[in-house]
A = this chain, B = another copy of it.
Amino acid sequence: MKIALLGFGTVGRGVDQIISERVPDVEVARILELPDRLTDPRMTSSYDDIVADPEIGLVVECMGGVEPARTYIMAALEAGKHVVTSNKAVVAAHFAEFAAASAASGAGLYIEASVGGGIPWIASVEKVRRIDEVTSFSGIMNGTTNYIVDAMRREGADFFEVLAEAQRLGYAERDPSADIDGIDVANKTIISASVAFDVACEKDLPVTGIRNLRKSDLDLLAGCGRTAKLLGRGVCRDGRYAAAVEPVAVSLDSLEASVPSNFNLVTLDATTVGELRFYGQGAGSLPTGNAIVQDVLDCVRGVRRPAYDFSRGLAWDPELLRSDHVFRTEATIPGSEPFAPGAVVARDVTAAEARALLDAALEVDPTTFMAALA
């Protein structure tokens, strides 16, 4: 089959390399690039050249960002071309719209690479759901923040020092907000909840990142046998569901605590199979390229045709995600108890309530750090 790549950055180049070296039955025939970067005969700067080409059966979108990715994906699906995408921002924002266009035209929508890089997470959740209900999921879904927390813990360095190093190594963007404020994890959590629970997931979930995590916070948590990891989580029970992104103080002997460097670890719990966990490179040219090519092969070889139907009507219920939350702050947290010097604990609050408590505390002490107790 002839396919087109939209975008030729890190991921697009990985896809092109893997297909040309390892997948003889697929050909990257066209590549959409900016007008001043047309360095390859396959390249064009006009999307019409691609979407109007009857020989192109599948479009791989790896541009990132919401527009023009959304417009291009919709145009491809409406033209009956299969779409494979690694773009979590656009899928999280427009999943239901894409699913409806895919169902209407019969073109496939493949999103494996949008969560967990090379980890076969989305396809595994779909496979589990052939038999089981997924009752919860939870994961380290962002390599940059895991790299930062892991390096802070191993090297005893502080946040901004490690962030600068991560930027130097190319693990973190020059503007690191999407990573350190939890926005990237929120997109992956929305997508995971949608696939795991069959719901157009609420976009306004509670989201807290690790911008205010300091070495002293890790020391404090280590004193109680814990460390902090930024987790995206979702729960589904009795026709209701909830999701949240927040730092979680996990036990030092948990698998999460042992995840090194920029790796990801995602976990699901399901009715008969129980707990399953998947670990691998959450980003990078070849791992993410591999996930895209796996989707391309599933499509080309007719192995898997995802069908997303969000008509189940699950109700959003923040009450499903409740736990104790620790705050390191000079502000007063209403209803809290002492936890450790400089830190208090608010018992049995929802992730949404904890986020509201954090917002109020940040008004008083902008350095406030919060973590849920696992």
Contacts and interface: CB of A to CB of B under 8 A. Distances in A.
B281 A278 contact: no
A190 to B, nearest CB: 24
20 contacts: A14-B272, A18-B131, A18-B272, A22-B132, A22-B272, A118-B274, A120-B124, A120-B276, A131-B290, A254-B258, A272-B286, A272-B289, A273-B280, A273-B290, A273-B291, A274-B280, A274-B281, A274-B284, A274-B286, A277-B280
A323 to B, nearest CB: 20
A251 to B, nearest CB: 9
Interface of A: 14, 18, 22-23, 118-120, 124, 127, 130-132, 253-255, 257-260, 263, 267, 272-281, 284, 286-287, 289-291, 293-294, 297, 303-304
Contact of A119 (B259, B267, B276, B281): B276
A286 B273 contact: yes
The 5 closest A-B pairs by CB, nearest first: A277-B279, A273-B290, A272-B286, A118-B273, A276-B280
A303 B280 CA distance: 25
Contact of A294 (B131, B290, B294, B304): B131
B18 A293 contact: no
A118 B268 CA distance: 13
A276 B274 contact: no
A75 to B, nearest CB: 28
A292 to B, nearest CB: 10
Contacts of A260: 253
Query: Number of copies of this chain in the oligomer?
Result: 2
B275 A278 contact: no
Given A131-B294, A290-B132, A276 B279 contact: yes
Contacts of A22: 131-132, 272
A272 B287 contact: yes
Name, among A131, A259, A291, the residue most crowded by chain B CB atoms within 10 Å (CB to CB).
A131
Nearest to A123: B127
A184 B261 CA distance: 33
A274 to B, nearest CB: 5
Contacts of A263: 275
A314 B23 CA distance: 23
Contact of A297 (B131, B253, B272, B280): B131
Contacts of A258: 253-255, 257-258
A257 B255 CA distance: 9
A24 B18 CA distance: 40
Nearest to A257: B258
Contacts of A272: 14, 18, 22, 118, 286-287, 289-290
Nearest to A296: B131
Contacts of A276: 118-120, 278-280
Given A130-B294, A131-B18, A304-B303, A287 B274 contact: yes
Contacts of A257: 258
A131 B127 CA distance: 20
Nearest to A251: B258
A303 B255 CA distance: 32
A280 B290 contact: no
A286 B131 CA distance: 11
Nearest to A291: B273
